[in-house]
Amino acid sequence: MATPKHFLDLNYLDSKVLRNILDDAALTKNARNAVGQISADSDAPLNGRLLAMIFEKPSTRTRVSFHIAMRQLGGETINLVGRDTQLGRGETAADTARVLSRYVDAIMVRTNNHGDLAEMSEVANVPVINGLTDLTHPCQVMADILTIEEKIGSINEKKLAWCGSGNNMANSWIQAAARFGFELKIACPNELLPDSNIVDWALGKGARLVINSDIDEVVNEADVVMTDTWVSMNDQDGDRLRKLLKPYQVTEERMKMARDSAIFLHCLPAHRGEEVTEEVIDGPQSCVWDEAENRIHAQKSILKWCLSD
């Protein structure tokens, strides 16, 4: 049996594979838009294929975008909520993956524990896709890069500014910096730095990466300004996080420090008035709704790559 083509993290795939996925996403999105297509793609490349989606975290965009992506490709999905499956009663992630490998063509996992994703991928006989873990969120970053290139051109020589916690999104952006060649500056408090192993890996690959506690220096002349919610779903210390991150709010004044052509991204959901002001997220530089839509198109190409021969 052939080795499954997992989509786990950006560091596992080389730049050429990732670029081909993004180019395919742009091509197929434009083709659909050109003919006003709203139903399944005419070639239905994943007709008869089934994607199992495991959710241990609440989800809007990941759940809906993967479902739509699979339907547009001609396939189907089945939703599995962790607490309603045997995962919620102590079955190991590995055993769940062994069973699902007999039932479906691919598995998408949105989980609290990155180790569960790794455990599934080690034993699954079908592709496993990282829909989000506590460590990384690669599908979102692929959609974000698609959005950036639609709006301001090739990401290769752009300067990206991340403002806020060194969380799973920041970790995936660091991996992306090593794969796509852009400059990444991260503004975050010293108490909330990105994963050190991921930072070391990216620097070892030649990533142009700067981590700085000075947000004004980070956003200065940036092409893209990005942030994320300060308090994630499983955080128990929300008050402490809000206090640490208050200086990192993206405001109109900070967007003016970026280039005139700069865009604003947020993976959503947004806590308006915390990590970003209403004026920014609803302003002319905000591309968050295009970014959310592009989850569909990026994930379609990820699914096609995972399930191709």
Residues with catalytic roles: 110, 137, 140, 228, 267, 295
Residues 206 and 243 sit within 8 Å (Cβ to Cβ): no
State the Cα–Cα distance between residues 42 and 186, nearest whole angstrom.
42
Residues 281 and 266 sit within 8 Å (Cβ to Cβ): yes
HSE (CB half, 13 Å, CA atoms) of 267?
A: 28
Instruction: Please provide the DSSP assignment of the chain as one string.
Output: -PPP--B--GGGS-HHHHHHHHHHHHHHHHHHHHHT--SS-TT-TTTT-EEEEEESS--SHHHHHHHHHHHHTT-EEEEEEGGGSGGGGT--HHHHHHHHHHH-SEEEEE-S-HHHHHHHHHH-SS-EEEEE-SS--HHHHHHHHHHHHHHHS-STT-EEEEES---HHHHHHHHHHHHH--EEEEE--GGGPPPHHHHHHHHHTT-EEEEES-HHHHHTT-SEEEE--SS-TT-S-HHHHHHHHGGG-B-HHHHHHS-TT-EEEE-S---BTTTB-HHHHTSTTB-HHHHHHHHHHHHHHHHHHHT--
